[in-house]
A and B are shown apart, each in its own frame.
Chain A
């Protein structure tokens, strides 16, 4: 199997699916000739041409609104929003239109698009190139939300997202675009939406993470092991619909749960995960569930590494919860 980074794996998935399915089109700011500001769509313009890899005017609302129209026509648009911080001009189209089309039309008009967008901090991008808005999309009925942590999952989940009948937000953790490398299966290999993966087994504590923070979680788990704490680490891969069974099964074994995410704490996705664990595994809990997250502030530039829930913040949380 070839070695790839995340950027190459996503590019491979797009190329594979565009060759297989002529309905798939890519559109967005700078996605054409230059191949995207992160070069994720590099080379697609040369292979598929201006009608399938489209440089658009600079308007997120226009990109998503026209992509919905294309989907209603019968194409399968995969628009790119250059940074998820800039997705909000399209929020009305995503939340009021895309997410609701199938429902509000009594099933007559399913609108299926996959929105690819880089997410998260760690590139010294300041407030407007670092945020993690996933919970703002999970909270509205009708959207699936995916966030891979490695190249093989990125390819497999993107292929699955494009073929899924529902609209998908595909968050790409930009901090690990090139840092995460690994073997990626060639050809048509999908990873199912809605399935988490246990990436490290342990009996003392369940640690839930996704995207770039998975590596911080693993780092902290390895450090905790030297203190005799065996941490089970779950990579969610799909945020919504959540694979609650995998989490609950693990918590029933460990009795303790810690959730890590970059987004602000209050009303973040961790709050939902903790509430579900309380509802479904309360009598198995031996310690209060803990969230280790970004703070309820705008995302800071200079103090980025103090804001992010990196391993130095996760480790004490693991120890505290394990020894409660």
Chain B
């Protein structure tokens, strides 16, 4: 894509900086995260605004910070593994750690999560052993989805965490149905559903929001507005001034939150969950954040956004902001960071070593779970495969 096209798309960069106090729609800039009407708790100096502080305990804050660090380290190492040709693909959360972990931490254990595909951190927070996630990255026999999907298309029912698919927005309307069913069954729970700014253009966003509004389903719609849908910026997704205001048309309240502020995301999610639990229906939360990496390992953002775009966002890096807070309030030290990195690195290396040695799923598994039981035509085709010649490179990611 040419620079000219990019400039035309991204009006704020063409005309200098965007207005700091109003979010007028086109483009997403760092200034938008501190603009009027955007919930923010964590100040630049690392202190918390007492008027909005959700009151997390020190243990909770430190555990979430560690999860953010672990997420970033995983992203870094998984990209490396992909570049080395050891795994096929990774789609990460670089820069969006606070939006993802803050929202999951804002839900109660009994609540359900319907993921998009960028939320492995939420799944690990819910308790999936790291080994299972890394098995998914390798598509091996221990992969929860048995090597049937690309890496990062996981599932974790035990953790009340849904099944990832690639089509955009499909999970939104399913989350509404799930929450609506719980309401019909008079079970008090809420459902958090993740999607990006691009997904708000999908028909399933409309369907999910509309049904949830009509039936007052206890859903928390979490739009990670990270500025980009692969190469297409927010202003090509909508002419609305904000994504939160889309709720108005569905009778759903919308809030906007600094998505790089873990405390603000926790606060907004908790309030939306409480609202849902009181039977007052759904909320849409627009978490303003920034996708600091490409869309996935298959994408090179240099083709559509200048490198220096990231400079301003680095000052709002959610992990740096948390670190300032921990240093100030909990005496966190650089040595502790180093120790964490060493621990997580060792943990990941051990998991990768196991995953690489684990066999590919058995051939027969290709035919299982299409139906509950194998019909005749799949039994025939299974025989055909088993008796036939083997493909070169059988063994997937090995």
Contact = CB atoms under 8 A, between A and B. Distances in A.
Interface of A: 25, 51, 56-57, 59, 61-62, 65-75, 89, 92-93, 96-97, 100-110, 141-142, 144, 165-166, 194, 241-242, 244-245
B331 interface: no
A105 B155 contact: yes
Given A57-B210, A97-B165, A106 B148 contact: yes
B143 A106 contact: yes
A66 B180 contact: yes
Contacts of B210: 57, 59, 62
Interface in B207-231: 207-208, 210-211, 214
Interface string B353-394: 000000000000000111111011100000000000000000
Interface in B150-168: 153, 155-157, 162-163, 165, 167
B163 A108 contact: yes
B368 A62 contact: no
A22 B357 CA distance: 47
A103 B211 contact: no
23 contacts: A61-B204, A61-B207, A62-B208, A65-B170, A65-B172, A65-B174, A65-B177, A65-B207, A66-B174, A68-B174, A69-B176, A70-B180, A75-B185, A92-B204, A96-B170, A97-B165, A102-B370, A102-B371, A104-B145, A106-B144, A108-B157, A165-B372, A244-B377
B20 interface: no
Contact of B371 (A73, A96, A142): A142
A141 B371 CA distance: 9
A216 B204 CA distance: 41
Contacts of B368: 107
B204 A106 contact: no
Interface in B305-319: none
Contacts of A104: 145, 148-149, 153, 155, 163, 165
B174 A61 contact: no
Nearest to B149: A104
A106 B172 CA distance: 21
Contacts of B239: none
B182 interface: yes
Contacts of A105: 144-145, 155, 157, 163
B181 interface: yes
B344 interface: no
B56 interface: no
Contacts of B52: none
A312 B144 CA distance: 55
Nearest to B374: A241
A110 B178 contact: no
Contacts, number: 139
Contacts of B371: 102, 142, 144, 165-166, 241
B369 A107 contact: yes
B122 interface: no
Contacts of A242: 377
A93 B177 contact: no
Interface residues of B, number: 45
Contact of B211 (A66, A142, A194, A241): A66
A166 B374 CA distance: 11
Contacts of A103: 148, 369-370
A65 B162 contact: no
A74 B170 contact: no
B184 interface: yes
Given A104-B148, A107-B368, A241-B375, A70 B155 contact: no
B203 A72 contact: no
Contacts of B204: 61, 65, 92-93
B276 to A, nearest CB: 15
A93 B355 CA distance: 33
Contacts of A70: 177-178, 180-181
A62 B172 CA distance: 10
A48 to B, nearest CB: 12
- Residue among A69, A89, A96 facing the most chain B CB atoms (10 A cut-off): A69
Contacts of B375: 194, 241
Contact of A57 (B181, B214, B369): B214
Contacts of A141: 370
A130 to B, nearest CB: 25
Contacts of A107: 146, 368-369
B22 to A, nearest CB: 34
A245 B179 CA distance: 44
Nearest to A245: B376
Nearest to A52: B184
B93 interface: no
B175 interface: yes
B203 A61 contact: yes
B173 interface: yes
Nearest to B189: A73
B372 A166 contact: yes
A109 B145 CA distance: 11
Given A101-B163, A109-B162, A66 B176 contact: yes
Contacts of B176: 65-66, 69
Nearest to A95: B167
Given A65-B207, A241-B377, A93 B170 contact: yes
A223 to B, nearest CB: 34
B174 A142 contact: no
Given A62-B211, A97-B170, A103-B148, A69 B203 contact: no
Nearest to B166: A96
B211 A72 contact: no
Contact of A97 (B153, B167, B207): B167
A92 B377 CA distance: 24
Contact of A96 (B167, B175, B214): B167
Nearest to B175: A69
B372 A73 contact: no
B148 A61 contact: no
A69 B180 contact: yes
Contacts of B162: 72, 109
A69 B207 contact: no
B138 to A, nearest CB: 14
Contacts of A69: 173-181
